[in-house]
């Protein structure tokens, strides 16, 4: 077969250029540390790497989300801790006020302290997270959620909470609304409220009571009447015809009276015709509870009936504080659970990040030992091709003429 000089030169030059191209590609791998520079170099590996890159980017966003939620929840937990200390202090004030040896002026000082604590509680409820967003405003976090008005403290935030994703499968609320924390707390024992009738003349007072059998309890308006200092009856005030649901005789001070699954205790000596009311518990906010306690501390205690009313109301105030403390404790437990969930998500992402980086390295990172060895081989091949061409280029018929 005849090979023309032009074909021979073209073939040799193409071989040299091919060797240079391969060596340049290998040199680029060694320089960048990447097995491929474009998706066309290795479409399958490039596709898998792109998917892993998206996962890495998602995890980085989840990490930022986790940091934001953790910061807000930490601020909230600190604020709830401060609320707990405040309520415990007010409870101590109420216990001091219940002491029968205190005079009216001393109780008035305690009432002033309670109102100061109420103002401090409003400030705590209006705290922000350090970024200008109010902690307890729900998603309306740009304005203070609580304000003192003529009718009491009002809540202007909303009832929703912002939920932020911290992983592909988990989303966590970054706080609680003010309604969740400070509003809608069941008063007294949570089921019913007791009170001394204002027209009583005896010294009998009533405690907050409790439900001993929830299956038998029927929420309604009841009146505990004393037909004599030792005889009593409980009347269901349902209209049109009141109904006696329980009665007893031989009452003594401190005795527990039970009816329809409820139990109340009367202390002191009721007079004939004295009565006590048992009504369904209402929902109150913490601020109203503190104001009610302050008013109780300022109430008169001159007559036996006044003292009986005071003792019932101060007991109710302490029970309200216990209900508030229970609400705050439950919210703090939820915050703690969310912080634990965030920590677990962070640990999971850290483990996943190690695996993702290992997979990406396997797909994209060059094996330097293999690449350098290949580069040397290609360089040797290029030198050989160049040397061969210099010899072949001299093969011309004119060299022999």
* Residue 65 sits in the same domain as residue 182: yes
Q: Quick one: pLDDT at residue 387? A: 66
Could you tell me if residue 287 is inside a domain?
A: no
- In angstroms, the CA 214 to CA 4 distance is 109
Grade residue 196 by pLDDT with cuts at 50, 70 and 90: very high
**What CA–CA distances, in Å, run from 20 to 26, 110, 164?**
10, 93, 54
- In angstroms, the CA 183 to CA 222 distance is 27
The mean pLDDT of 36-49, rounded to a whole number, is 65
* Residue 82 sits in the same domain as residue 102: yes
* Residue 181 sits in the same domain as residue 218: no
Could you tell me if residue 16 is inside a domain?
A: no
> What are the pLDDT digits (tens) for 207-258?
999 999 999 999 999 999 999 999 999 999 987 788 999 999 999 999 999 9
Could you tell me if residue 368 is inside a domain?
A: no
Q: Quick one: pLDDT at residue 305? A: 92
Q: Quick one: pLDDT at residue 326? A: 97
What is the DSSP code string of 363-397? HHB--HHHHHHHHHHHHHHHHHHHHHHHHHTT--G
Domain boundary among 308, 337, 352: 352
* Residue 181 sits in the same domain as residue 70: yes
Q: Quick one: pLDDT at residue 39? A: 57
**What CA–CA distances, in Å, run from 250 to 229, 232, 253?**
9, 9, 10
Q: What is the pTM of this model?
A: 0.81
- ∠ CA(230), CA(191), CA(207), 5° rounding? 35
Contacts of 359 (CB under 8 A, 6+ apart): 48, 52
Is it the case that residue 40 has pLDDT exceeding 80?
A: no
Q: Edge-to-edge strands of the sheet including 275-280?
A: 192-196, 275-280, 222-226, 232-236, 243-248
* Residue 59 sits in the same domain as residue 151: yes
3-class DSSP state of 144: coil
Write out the two tokens for 80.
Answer: 């709830």
Is it the case that residue 28 has pLDDT exceeding 90?
A: no
- In angstroms, the CA 92 to CA 81 distance is 17
Could you tell me if residue 29 is inside a domain?
A: no
Could you tell me which residue, 173 or 41, shows the higher pLDDT? 173
* Residue 206 sits in the same domain as residue 152: no
* Residue 230 sits in the same domain as residue 159: no
The mean pLDDT of 30-37, rounded to a whole number, is 64
The parent domain of residue 326 ranges over 53-187+320-352
Q: Quick one: pLDDT at residue 59? A: 85
* Residue 96 sits in the same domain as residue 159: yes
DSSP E strand stretches across 261-349: 262-267, 275-280, 283-284
* Residue 179 sits in the same domain as residue 199: no
* Ranges 3-12, 126-135, 186-195: which has the least confidence: 3-12
Could you tell me if residue 306 is inside a domain?
A: no
* Residue 102 sits in the same domain as residue 66: yes
Query: Number of structural domains, the chain?
Result: 2
- In angstroms, the CA 246 to CA 43 distance is 86
Q: Quick one: pLDDT at residue 126? A: 96
The mean pLDDT of 50-55, rounded to a whole number, is 73
* Residue 133 sits in the same domain as residue 275: no
Could you tell me if residue 293 is inside a domain?
A: no
Could you tell me if residue 288 is inside a domain?
A: no
Which CATH number belongs to the domain containing residue 68 in this structure?
A: 1.20.1330.10
Q: Quick one: pLDDT at residue 282? A: 95
Is it the case that residue 386 has pLDDT exceeding 70?
A: no
Could you tell me if residue 149 is inside a domain?
A: yes
* Residue 160 sits in the same domain as residue 121: yes
To the nearest whole number, what is the mean pLDDT of the chain?
87
Q: Quick one: pLDDT at residue 58? A: 83
């Amino acid at each position: 077969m005849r090979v023309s000089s032009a074909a021979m030169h073209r073939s040799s030059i193409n071989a040299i250029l091919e060797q240079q191209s391969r060596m340049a590609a290998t040199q680029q791998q060694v320089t960048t540390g990447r097995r491929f520079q474009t998706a066309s170099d290795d479409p399958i590996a490039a596709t898998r790497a792109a998917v892993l890159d998206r996962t890495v980017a998602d995890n980085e966003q989840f990490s930022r989300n986790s940091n934001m939620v953790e910061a807000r929840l930490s601020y909230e937990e600190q604020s709830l801790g401060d609320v707990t200390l405040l309520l415990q202090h007010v409870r101590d004030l109420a216990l001091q006020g219940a002491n029968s040896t205190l005079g009216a002026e001393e109780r008035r000082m305690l009432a002033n302290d309670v109102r100061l604590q109420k103002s401090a509680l409003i400030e705590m409820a209006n705290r922000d997270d350090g970024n200008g967003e109010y902690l307890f405003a729900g998603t309306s976090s740009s304005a203070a959620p609580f304000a003192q008005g003529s009718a009491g403290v009002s809540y202007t935030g909303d009832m929703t909470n912002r939920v932020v994703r911290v992983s592909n499968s988990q989303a966590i609320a970054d706080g609680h609304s003010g309604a969740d924390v400070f509003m809608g707390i069941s008063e007294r024992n949570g089921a019913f409220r007791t009170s001394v009738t204002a027209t009583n003349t005896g010294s009998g007072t009533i405690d907050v009571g409790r439900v001993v059998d929830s299956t038998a309890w029927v929420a309604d308006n009841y009146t505990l009447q004393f037909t004599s200092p030792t005889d009593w009856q409980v009347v269901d005030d349902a209209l049109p015809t009141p109904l006696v649901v329980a009665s007893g005789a031989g009452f003594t001070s401190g005795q527990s009276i039970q009816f329809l699954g409820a139990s109340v205790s009367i202390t002191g000596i009721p007079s004939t015709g004295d009565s006590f009311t048992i009504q369904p518990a209402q929902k109150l906010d913490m601020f109203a509870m503190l104001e009610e306690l302050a008013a109780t501390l300022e109430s008169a205690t001159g007559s036996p009936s006044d003292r009986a009313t005071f003792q019932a109301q101060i007991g109710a105030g302490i029970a309200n504080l216990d209900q508030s403390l229970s609400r705050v404790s439950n919210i703090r437990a939820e915050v703690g659970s969310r912080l634990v969930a965030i920590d677990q998500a962070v640990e999971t992402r850290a483990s996943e990040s190690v695996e993702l980086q290992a997979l990406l390295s396997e797909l994209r990172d060059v094996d330097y030992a293999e690449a350098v060895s290949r580069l040397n081989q290609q360089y040797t091949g290029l030198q050989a091709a160049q040397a061969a061409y210099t010899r072949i280029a001299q093969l011309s018929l004119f060299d022999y003429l």
